[in-house]
């Protein structure tokens, strides 16, 4: 398989923008795609601002920033994927959405183009099955925020060929990140461990064992976590937390993965965390205030 030099990123949200940034800084050409023009524009502003912070910390210089920005082609037209070596999907954590994306994009690609998904929980084998190239399909799960987090999970589907896996490993090495390999089980490794812990913290709040502040302080100071579990849930997005817990609950058929009813209630209310300004904390004043 040829070296990966040009990557199409589908989804210009927080994850897609982060992936585009680290790949562009590593010298790769990027086609950043989204169905919403304003999301693409916001992503470019965020990428430029993030690299500005790297300049302030003396991690890159302005020439590197300008060169990286020049490598990112932003477009709503997926025809721009025609000469890409890899398409990496970073859309919403919804299996039906992802399946439609892959079915629609495959006819536009070279036959040797690889496909990857940044899903944090969904079966790689199932997603690969709707494509015309399951042997060239792999899970490449970056952690959030992508520019800061060192780890990437690589997940092979049942049909993933060795050449696809080795190419993905080579890409992660070029990005200066560390790859671990997970089997294709619901939520893989990180979220299989992390999200049930967050769900249990929400149960602890739901049952009145402690307040939001008490629970987060307990885990920061008692377990030396850099961020409390409820604060982390708000950062991830409560809709994403719920989605992953549902995948675990349905995929493993174990009651210990049942999403907490309070989590469901917050998502139903549209209180999804930082991105909606309200979750377990209210961020509207500029100072996070616990909502319970």
Q: Read off the pLDDT of residues 216-261 as tens digits, 9 standing for 90 and up.
A: 999 999 999 999 999 999 999 999 999 999 999 999 999 999 999 9
List the CATH number of the domain containing 120: 3.40.50.720
Same domain, yes or no: 142 and 205 = no
User: CA–CA separation, 154 vs 207, rounded Å?
Assistant: 37
Tokens representing residue 52 in the block: 């500005």
Check if 225 is active-site: no
In a domain, 24, yes or no: yes
Q: How many domains does the chain have?
A: 2
* Residue of 123, 182, 191, 243 marked active site: 191
* Residue of 33, 118, 120, 243 marked active site: 120
Check if 153 is active-site: yes
* Residue of 89, 93, 118, 153 marked active site: 153
What Cα–Cα distance (Å) separates residue 164 from each residue in 23, 83, 160, 185?
18, 18, 7, 19
* Residue of 89, 141, 243, 249 marked active site: 141
Tokens representing residue 261 in the block: 């009813």
Range of the domain at 253: 190-290
- The answer to whether 109 and 82 are in contact (CB under 8 A) is yes
- The answer to whether 142 and 149 are in contact (CB under 8 A) is yes
Nearest in space to 99 (alpha carbons), one of 77, 121, 131: 131
Mean pLDDT in each 10-residue stretch from start to end of the chain (292 residues)? 89 96 98 96 97 96 97 97 98 94 97 97 97 98 96 98 97 98 96 97 98 98 97 96 95 96 98 97 96 94
Domain end: 182, 209, 234, which one? 182
What integer best gives the mean pLDDT of the chain? Answer: 97
Check if 191 is active-site: yes
């Amino acid at each position: 398989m040829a070296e990966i030099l040009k990557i199409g990123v589908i989804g210009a949200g927080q994850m897609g923008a982060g992936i585009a940034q680290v790949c562009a800084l590593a010298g790769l050409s990027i086609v950043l795609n989204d169905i919403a023009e304003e999301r693409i524009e916001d992503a470019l502003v965020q990428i430029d601002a993030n690299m500005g912070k790297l300049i302030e910390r003396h991690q890159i210089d302005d020439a590197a920033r300008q060169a990286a920005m020049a490598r990112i082609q932003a477009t709503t037209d997926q025809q721009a994927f025609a000469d890409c070596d890899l398409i990496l999907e970073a859309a919403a954590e919804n299996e039906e959405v992802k399946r439609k994306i892959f079915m629609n994009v495959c006819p536009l690609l070279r036959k040797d183009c690889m496909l990857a998904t940044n899903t944090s929980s969904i079966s790689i084998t199932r997603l690969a099955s709707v494509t015309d190239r399951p042997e060239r399909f792999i899970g490449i799960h970056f952690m959030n925020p992508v520019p800061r987090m060192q780890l990437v999970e690589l997940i092979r589907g049942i049909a993933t060929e060795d050449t696809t896996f080795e190419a993905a490993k080579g890409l992660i090495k070029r990005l200066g990140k560390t790859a671990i390999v997970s089997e294709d089980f619901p939520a893989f490794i990180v979220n299989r461990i992390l999200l049930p812990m967050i769900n249990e913290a929400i149960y602890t709040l739901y049952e009145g064992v402690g307040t939001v502040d008490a629970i987060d302080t307990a885990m920061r100071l008692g377990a030396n976590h850099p961020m409390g579990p409820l604060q982390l849930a708000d950062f991830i997005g409560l809709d994403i937390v719920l989605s992953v817990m549902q995948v675990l609950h349905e995929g493993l058929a174990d009651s210990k993965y049942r999403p907490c009813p309070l989590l469901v209630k917050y998502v139903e209310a549209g209180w999804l965390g930082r991105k909606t300004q309200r979750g377990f904390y209210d961020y509207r004043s500029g100072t996070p205030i616990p909502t319970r």
